C-alpha cells in the first residue's frame, strides 16, 4: 500500500462520510471514461507542457485502462499526481 497524502485523504474521507458520499463530479471522473476531458490532449499540455506526444499516448492509455480508485493504493504521490492531476488537486483542496 502506498504511503501518500492522497491515499490518506481518500481513506479519511471514506471513514468520515462513507465511500458513497463522494461528490458526484469526483465519482463521475472515475466512471465517465468516455468524457472528452478525461483523455484530453489539451489538459495534458496544460499540466505537462514539457512532455512529448508519446508521453501523452502512454498517459491516455493508462487513464483508459486503469482506475484512480485502484491506483491510489499503490502509486507514489508523484505518480498519482501525474496520472490523475485533477483528482490529486481535489484531494489536496481542503484535504477532502
DSSP line for 53-73: HHHHHHHHHHHHH--HHHHHH
Into how many domains does the chain fold? 1
Instruction: Kindly report the number of other CB atoms within 10 A of residue 32's CB atom.
Output: 11
Q: Please state the pTM of the whole predicted model.
A: 0.76
Residue 53 confidence (pLDDT): 96
Is the CB of residue 29 less than 8 Å from the CB of residue 89? no
Q: What is the pLDDT along the chain (96 residues), one digit of tens a residue?
A: 677 888 888 888 888 777 666 655 565 554 445 566 666 888 899 899 999 999 999 999 998 899 888 999 999 999 999 998 888 888 887 555
**Full domain range(s) for residue 41:** 5-95
∠ at Cα 82 (78, 86), nearest 5°? 115
Separation of alpha carbons 43 and 48, rounded Å: 8
Query: How far is the C-alpha of 65 from the C-alpha of 45, rounded, in Å?
Result: 20
Amino acid at each position: 500500500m502506498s504511503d501518500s497524502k492522497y491515499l490518506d485523504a481518500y481513506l479519511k474521507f471514506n471513514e468520515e462520510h462513507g465511500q458513497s458520499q463522494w461528490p458526484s463530479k469526483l465519482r463521475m471522473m472515475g466512471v465517465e471514461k468516455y468524457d472528452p476531458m478525461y483523455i484530453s490532449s489539451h489538459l495534458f499540455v496544460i499540466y505537462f507542457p514539457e512532455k512529448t506526444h508519446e508521453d501523452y499516448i502512454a498517459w491516455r492509455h493508462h487513464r483508459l485502462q486503469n482506475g484512480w480508485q485502484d491506483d491510489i493504493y499503490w502509486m507514489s504521490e508523484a505518480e498519482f499526481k501525474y496520472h490523475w492531476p485533477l483528482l490529486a488537486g481535489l484531494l489536496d483542496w481542503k484535504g477532502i
